[in-house]
Every structure is written in C-alpha cells, then in structure tokens.
Copies of this chain bind each other. A is one copy, B any other.
Amino acid sequence: MAKILRVNMTDRSVKYEDVPEKYRFMGGRWLTSSIIADEVDPTCHPLGPNNKLVFAPGIVTGTNAPSSGRVSVGGKSPLTGGIKESNAGSNWPQFLAKLGIKAIVVEGHPSDAGWWGLHITKDGAEFFPADEYAGRSLYEVFPLLFERFGKKVAIAATGVAGEMRMAMAGVCFNDTENRPSRYSGRGGLGAVMGAKHLKFIVVDPQGAPGVEIADKDLFERGRKKLIEALRTHDITKPKGTLNTYGTAALVNVLNEAGAYPTRNFREGRFEGAATTSGEAIFEGNKQRLGKELYNHGCHPGCIIQCSNTWHKPDGTEYVSCIEYESTWALGANCGIDNLDDIAELIWLCNDLGLDTIETGGTIAVAMDAGLLEFGDGKGAIRLLREEVGKGTPLGRILGNGAAFTGRAFGWTRVPGCKGQNMPAYEPRAVKGIGITYATTPMGADHTAGYTIAPEILGVSGKVDQFATDKADLSRNFQHSTAFIDSSGHCLFIAFAILDIPSGFEGFVEECAGVVGADWTGDDVMRIGKEILDKEVAFNRAAGFTSAHDRVPEFMKYEKLPPHNVVWDVPDEVLDAVHGA
C-alpha cells in the first residue's frame, strides 16, 4: 500500500503514514491542494513554521503511461500569499511513485542554522547534512550528489535563491541527463523549501516495488488510445511541432497575433521575434552542430519530447532548455533579441534556482523603471549573476519578483495578478487568457487554464481572441487542467485529447485504471471543480476577494499596440468564473 511520507524539520524526524481513505484516488495537484487545504492555516506566514511543502507524483506517474512523469509541488506561496501548485517533469516523481510514496509532506522549522538533505530509498528516508552544498551553483552541486548517491537517483533541490528565501525561487529537479533544469518554478516554493532548510530530496528507485495498478486491463486499454492520439496529433507527434521546435514554436504565432508581450507589456509585437523563436533555435542548432537536432523528453516515457538544447557556436551545449516562456521572459519582454544572451540568462536561472518567467518579468519591470535599458542582455546577465546570485540589496529586490521590484521603485506598470507576473500572452490582445490570469487561484498563470488553444491555436475549436465573454471558456479550461495536473500527465497531452475523442477517453480510462475508479469524462470536470473550489476557498480564507481577481489597472487605460486594445473584460465576467 502506498504511503505518505511526513518529514518534520523541527525535530528532523520522518514518518510513513497510511494514506487516508479520502486521499485514495488523488495524485498531483488534487492531492497537494487537498493536503494544504486540510492542514495549513491559510493566514500563516509562507516562510514560517506553519506552512507546509507537499510533493506529489500524479495518479499515473511511475507507470508506463505516456508523458506522465510530472510532479506537483504545493504550499502557501510567498509570492502570491495564496495556495500554490507548481508542476515539473522529471524522473524524480516516477521514482517516488515506484517507491510507493504518494506524497511527501515537509513541515516544521529547524531551530538551528544548518542545511539538510533527505535520502529516500526502498528502506526508508534519512537526513544527511548538506552544509557543504549550500551557497553553491546547482550545476556544480548536482554532479557531486549524483557521484555520492549514484547516477540513477533523482534530485529535488532548492538553489541559493531559495536559501535566501527569495520569492521567485523555484524547486529544481534533474532532467534525463541529470542537469538541474526542470522546475516547479512558479510561486516561490523554493523559498519555502529554503525556509525549512531542506536543500535536497534525493530519491533512489533501486528495488522499488512499482506503482500498483488496480485495473490493469482498463489502464492498458486507455494507455494505448492515448499513445495513439499523441502519435497522431500534429503538435504532439514525433517530429511534430513540439518535438521539432519545442514550445518556442509559439513565438512567431503569438507575435503574429499581436499578443506577444514586449518590453514589459508595452507592445504586443517584438521586432526580434524571428531570431528568438523555436524555428531560430532549430536552425541555429543545425548551423552550429552541422545536423538537425530534434528534442528530448523531460522524463523517460514521454512521447511528445519537447525539450530542446541550445548550443554554442563551437557546438558544445549552452543550456537545456529554451522554453517558449523562457525565450519570451528573458527575451522579448526585456527587449533582448540574442539567443546566446537568453541562453545565458536561462542557465543562470537554473543555476541559482529561479523561475525564468518571474525572473524575466522582474528584469523587465526593472528596465521599465529605468534600472537598465531595454535590450541590454549583458546588463541583465550581470543583474542575475552579481546581484541576485550574491544576495546584494538590489538582488534581494529583484529576487522577490516583479511586483516587489515595482514597489521598490514606485513603478505602477507591473503586469501581474495576485503578485505573480504574467507569462507570455498579452491579456489585452487575448481576453480569455487574461480571464484565466485574473481568476485562477495561482496568480497569473497560463497553464492554469490555457484558453490560448482555441483563441490562437485553433485547438478544440476557434474563438475570437478579442471576444470578452469567456467566463465559461476559462472555467472549463481551469477545471479540466486541474485534473490533468492531478493525473501526472504533461499538460501538453491536452492538444491531442481535446482534438481526438478516443485520446480523451483513453486518458480517463488510464487514470481510472490505476486507482480503480469508474470515472468517465464527466468526472474529469467534477474533480477539476472540486480542486478549484478547495483552492479558491483557501485563498478566500487567506484574505483574497474578487478585488484580487483583476488584471493590473494600467492595462485598462494604456492601449497595447499593434491592435491598440485595452483590457475591457467586465468585472462581472471575471466574477462569474468561480463566483464572487
């Protein structure tokens, strides 16, 4: 029987607990948000002893279900002050699930100053002193840990930004090449890990019993349908859009739509889009490597395989990977049009333990406020390396995110919701995603309800990007997404399962097969709603109201080129999403 591993940092004890019946079907976000809602006082200080940090593999994670190596990390966010689920792909949750661990709940607060790691094997979990790794580069530390614990372990970590309790610190996981490059980036959960003085969780899968599957036939039937859908859809199939150009395939699409936020959301189109796009990455690699390079997966068993690697002129590796959000955040949003500078900035984020989206948004606000010129890539690199990395006062301003930086400089143009900066879709030009930004309990987050699919990409139908009456659209995406985030699947399966009915069927059967539930498609929305209701209720108790379900004021009076549009979605639409 799977267990919950409870880790108490106050007395450095661990305990394996039976999974309560109410959590039996749960995984991923469903489980992290339920535990947080059940156990954490919504008014607690996110960096204090009463916050908890929960890690949960998805429902099917650790099985051979395709593209399902995702982990949810949950807690009260130091960035937003609300509940948080932040999702990453790695073999780490696969190993955890195979060891029969349904969730790790990290709680308490050490009274001493030292740093600790947790080493989990089939025989149990043990602390190890980690002082020797503190204050150091993750690119330097990861190889040392793999040397110490074996190449086949997996690692969750917080970097120096998290040690300094900076609100844009993420939780880092290794990728398939053991690089520190996969992130539960958003919401500052790396700072919660840092506040608890837990540097690493090392998971060794040797001798793991594997994930129990309640109804193997159902699971297998569903798995095949989902695989078929993923192998068929143009976006997710091998050598399809994502496998070839990565998520950065979106750059030209959004730029064309006039919805690619440029220079701190001053414009919707970037003159440097073409040189920083997925196509530019593919062509640049071809030129530097002398051959075509297709992408790899963030975890074993992924069919989509969207993670790219950028190479230096001499053909050696620069960084993996340049996601759409990263090339945008550290590129267009800062006016930077040079892929090598962007690669260096991403490398620094990985190295220091930072969310690339919040980092780019923060540098953009700082540039807007006059700290640097837009487009100054070398200046941005210096800010990360010399200021954030060293925890100077300026680094502590920036390290706490875009809204914080805006306040430090008395700057009103901060494009965030609930303290979290917006990602790479301009809400004035694509209203549905703005409704998601404003109303998701997560703070501005595209992955919380990706209405871009029908609004821009023509997936699951096509709706006008400027239409404002999209409460239902956003809500439906938010609910279905919450279930996908709970399943352990990558959100990108959505492209295939939204367009291919048998794929959706297979997805549900697969999840139902693992836990032994009799779920149908309707249950996806029912469970998704249950998750959102819990999260919204947590936030309400934490002090959020409908006044927080809004985009920043400046978007209402500042017109966005090239469409010269303002934010004109009525508040009533926003309040209709989850109820005011």
Contact = CB atoms under 8 A, between A and B. Distances in A.
16 contacts: A45-B553, A47-B412, A165-B409, A165-B410, A166-B410, A393-B396, A393-B397, A396-B408, A397-B408, A400-B408, A404-B404, A541-B547, A542-B547, A543-B543, A543-B545, A543-B548
Interface string A536-566: 0000111111011010111001000000000
Given A45-B412, A400-B408, A544-B545, 19 more contacts: A43-B550, A44-B553, A45-B554, A47-B410, A48-B412, A48-B553, A50-B553, A166-B410, A191-B410, A392-B393, A393-B393, A393-B394, A396-B408, A396-B409, A400-B407, A404-B404, A404-B407, A540-B545, A543-B544
B547 A43 contact: yes
Contacts of A330: none
A42 interface: yes
B48 A547 contact: no
Most chain B beta-carbon neighbours within 10 Å: one of A44, A49, A393, A409: A393
Interface size class of A (residues with CB under 8 A): 35 or more
How many copies of the shown chain assemble into the complex? Answer: 2
Contacts of A408: 393, 396-397, 400, 404
Interface of A: 42-45, 47-50, 78, 164-167, 191, 194-195, 392-394, 396-397, 400, 404, 407-410, 412, 540-545, 547-548, 550, 552-554, 557
Contacts of A550: 43
Contacts of A400: 407-408
A interface: dominant SS: loop
A169 to B, nearest CB: 10
Nearest to A547: B543
Nearest to A169: B410
B410 A554 contact: no
A566 to B, nearest CB: 14
Contacts of A554: 45, 48
A412 B45 CA distance: 7
Nearest to A398: B393
Contacts of A393: 392-394, 396-397, 408
Nearest to A410: B165
A547 B540 CA distance: 9
Contacts of A392: 393
Contacts of A43: 547, 550, 553
Contacts of A394: 393
A390 to B, nearest CB: 12
A513 to B, nearest CB: 41
Contacts of A553: 43-45, 48, 50
